[in-house]
Structure 1
Amino acid sequence: MGNIEIIINGNIATIVFFHPASNSFPSNLLKKLTEEINSLNNNDAISIIVLKSLGTGAFCAGASFDELLTVTNIEEGNKFFSGFANVINAMRNCKKLIIGRIHGKAVGGGVGLAAACDYTFATYKSDIKLSEIAIGIGPFVIEPAVSRKIGKTAMSEMTLNPTEWKSGKWAYEKGLFSEIFDTIEELDSRLENYINELSNYNEEALVEMKKVLWEDTLHWETLLYERAAISGRLVLSDFTKKALEKFKK
């Protein structure tokens, strides 16, 4: 269930993802998102990518809890969490600037997606939370991307308070969100103007700027998969299995 749609308008591509469970990500959607980002990266007609989700509710609820419950061995766990590593590395390696439209709440991997965008638009209702510790794992794969935006101190504040929502204003002040608005309508109006202006700039300069923005992250090619292995092991614990069942209910 769920889908990903690509909308192309001139040299601007919009990736729209959807899943009925609050726009969460099962592994098949993570794989599809990675493939679409890599495909757009190789499309010379595209210079700007917008990442958004459908609806007016959550932006992204992170990993699919239903699928996590089906993990029975380390290989399956490693493979699932490597899905988020693949997406973040695809966003990092993409030559095109990726602009995030974070219209609503983001949890776990959803926060990671927002952090991996090069520039983000959000609303004051775009609250964020890292709930992983509460279910016996941790935001290991997305941590480098989140810490890169908000710093280790703010990252630890979120991680070690896994049941606490941080407001959209907090996320904006910490640097996760680039611009913030009262309403989705105001967000979309500014987003449209911004990407239209950005898409008219020197594409070669934008490509070089993307390289600058992601300096000193080459080691993520191995780091994120090492982190995925940690989560893949922890998800098999009795603590996590019981916590996931509780959250599901």
Structure 2
Amino acid sequence: MEGTINTTIENKIATIAFYHPASNSFPSTQLQKLTDAIRLAGENEQVSIIVLKSEGNGAFCAGASFDELLAVSNLEEGKLFFSGFANVINAMRNCPKLIVGRIHGKAVGGGVGIVAACDYTFATNNAATKLSELAIGIGPFVIEPAVSRKIGKTAMTGMTLAATEWKSAEWSQENGLFTKTFETTTELDEALNSFTENLSSYNPEALNEIKKVIWEGTEHWEQLLYERAAISGKLVLSDFTINALNQFKTK
């Protein structure tokens, strides 16, 4: 099963859409393609704003690919896989263009990290979120800085320890993960289009400078996220995690 990453540009707005048949989950090749797409859009002088979305009517993003997690056979492979999420988050952080997230459905694990790394987010009321990593023997180590930065350490801790509990879209908005929520995707898209059209008309230099301000104090993530990837890469090799992943796959 292969996924896709497509970028379209219209009226200075680049829309990056990702898709994978397994609930928009991410194998490593897909993570690299998304990283590259974000960097290219950031470098494109014809782009002022980036919209990040996923395709389909199901989950926004199911996080890491279970198949690829089960295929990890050594520490280096484990660190390399989780570094894929580090690459995406750092690309979003370093991108000179503001990134607006369109979250139409559920987000789990690494998907929550991608949501948290957006600068502004529109979501539907169906967009429940969950950090399920502890339940499979690992933890949200790579994405934690992005999540904690957005919702605070206390809320992040609550999400992490309640690893089987879905948080509602209302909870995510109250805690800052979502900026705005809507009853339907139609209402979401109308508001998103209006917002991005206005934003793309503003001074590009001002937008770039405010992006820098938004991400002040995160420069150490260039090292931190890869240190966290090594932790996850080690844990994914444990018997506990292997058994848990196999149980999840058979459900």
Category of TM-score, reference length = shorter chain: over 0.9
Supply the AA of the counterpart residue of 2:68: E
1:115 corresponds to: 116
1:1-249, aligned counterparts within 5 Å? 1-249=2-250
- In the alignment, the residues of structure 2 paired with residue 206 and residue 246 of structure 1 have an alpha-carbon distance, to the nearest angstrom, of 46
TM-score (ref. length: structure 1) = 0.99
> RMSD of the alignment, in Å?
0.5
Supply the AA of the counterpart residue of 1:175: G
By how many angstroms is 1:124 displaced? 1.2
By how many angstroms is 1:103 displaced? 0.6
The DSSP-based 3-state class of the residue aligned with 1:4 is: strand
- In the alignment, the residues of structure 1 paired with residue 193 and residue 42 of structure 2 have an alpha-carbon distance, to the nearest angstrom, of 21
By how many angstroms is 1:10 displaced? 2.2
TM-score (ref. length: structure 2) = 0.99
The DSSP-based 3-state class of the residue aligned with 1:55 is: coil
Supply the AA of the counterpart residue of 2:240: F
- In the alignment, the residues of structure 1 paired with residue 180 and residue 107 of structure 2 have an alpha-carbon distance, to the nearest angstrom, of 16
Aligned residues: 249
CA deviations 1:30-87 (Å, max 9, x no partner) are 0000011111111111110000000111000000001100000000000000000000
The DSSP-based 3-state class of the residue aligned with 1:25 is: coil
Which runs of 4 or more aligned residues in structure 1 lie more than 2 Å from their structure 2 counterparts after TM superposition?
none
- In the alignment, the residues of structure 1 paired with residue 3 and residue 222 of structure 2 have an alpha-carbon distance, to the nearest angstrom, of 28
CA deviations 1:195-245 (Å, max 9, x no partner) are 001000011000000000000000000000000000000000000000000
Identity of aligned residues (%): 69
Structure 1 spans left out of the alignment, 5+ residues: none
Structure 2 spans left out of the alignment, 5+ residues: none
- In the alignment, the residues of structure 2 paired with residue 218 and residue 211 of structure 1 have an alpha-carbon distance, to the nearest angstrom, of 11
The DSSP-based 3-state class of the residue aligned with 2:101 is: strand
By how many angstroms is 1:5 displaced? 0.4
The DSSP-based 3-state class of the residue aligned with 1:140 is: coil
Supply the AA of the counterpart residue of 1:144: P
